[in-house]
Structure 1
Amino acid sequence: MRSQAPRGLHIVEMPTPHVMVVPPAPGPQEVVGLCERAACAAASHGIAVCDVRALAGLDLAAVDLLARLQLAAVRAGGRVLVRNASPALRGLLQLVALPVELEREVEQGEPARRVEERGQPEDPAL
């Protein structure tokens, strides 16, 4: 008896990158550890996701930390995605022109990504 190959689309599970939570005030040893983790995540997943919600200081030390994480990820062949950045941190990163990718936040009343809204019957087709 011969088994047939399954028909249709094959389901491929993509590995979910691990989210690194940045502590409120990381010390020098913690920064080294975060950079190593960012490099490992970038090498294995292509992206290092950094949750900066707890980051207390919105100063050049925060910019330096994110620059180091970005450098470690790029050297490993990936990139950094900054998650849960406050508006103040977003403004600071824009001011210093640090090329990190900021995760887009869904605004109130806006549908989540990849959600199709049902159109009205009288709406023209696009």
Structure 2
Amino acid sequence: MSYSRGPGLPDVDATMPAVLVVVGRVTPADVPRLCDELDSLLYESGATEVICDVTGLTHPDLTAVDALARLRLTARKAGCRLRLCGARQDLLMLLRLVGLSDVA
């Protein structure tokens, strides 16, 4: 069986949200990389919504909150909405504390 793709971008179902998974402990050095990953994901998928899966986030702290705020900004600049999935209560409390409860 062979497959060949025509010219241009592959067919994309823009109604399906893109998914970005954040795992482990987020460091300040991770933030630009995560934003770049999100940019690439949005460019490739053409999605209008991003689900940020933080189920595997091990240390929800202010660095993680900063990363989520920047990811939200990155998504907004691309005309997308960022929604969290799998957020623990401590992360949700931090987001509320800093005024980002609408991300969750």
Larger Cα-atom Rg? 1
Aligned equivalents of 1:73, 1:94: Cα separation in 2 = 20
Q: CA deviation at 1:33?
A: 2.8
Aligned equivalents of 1:63, 1:100: Cα separation in 2 = 13
2:24 is matched with which residue? 24
1:53 is matched with which residue? 55
Q: Looking at both structures, which has the greater relative contact order when contacts are Cα pairs under 8 Å and sequence separation is at least 6?
A: 2
Q: CA deviation at 1:18?
A: 2.8
1:88 is matched with which residue? 90
Question: CA-to-partner distance for each residue in 1:74-101, whole Å, 9 max, x for gaps?
Answer: 1111121110001111111111111543
Contact kept in structure 2, 1:25 and 1:56, CA below 8 Å = yes
Mark the runs of 5 or more structure 2 residues left unpaired by the alignment.
Answer: 1-12
Q: Which amino acid aligns with 2:59?
A: G
Alignment of 1:1-126 (within 5 A): 15-27=15-27, 28=29, 30-42=30-42, 44-98=46-100, 100-102=102-104
TM-score by length of 2: 0.71
| Aligned residue-pair number | 89
Name the structure where helix makes up a greater proportion of residues: 2
1:5 is matched with which residue? none
Contact kept in structure 1, 2:26 and 2:59, CA below 8 Å = no
Q: CA RMSD in A?
A: 2.1
Q: CA deviation at 1:31?
A: 2.5
Question: CA-to-partner distance for each residue in 1:45-91, whole Å, 9 max, x for gaps?
Answer: 11111100111222110110101100111111112111000111111
Residue identity (%): 36
Q: Residues 73, 54 of structure 1: CA spacing in aligned structure 2 closer, same or farther, 3 A cutoff?
A: same
Aligned equivalents of 2:102, 2:88: Cα separation in 1 = 14
Task: Find runs of 4+ consecutive structure 1 residues off by over 6 angstroms.
Answer: none
Q: CA deviation at 1:14?
A: 5.6
Q: Which amino acid aligns with 1:59?
A: D
TM-score by length of 1: 0.60
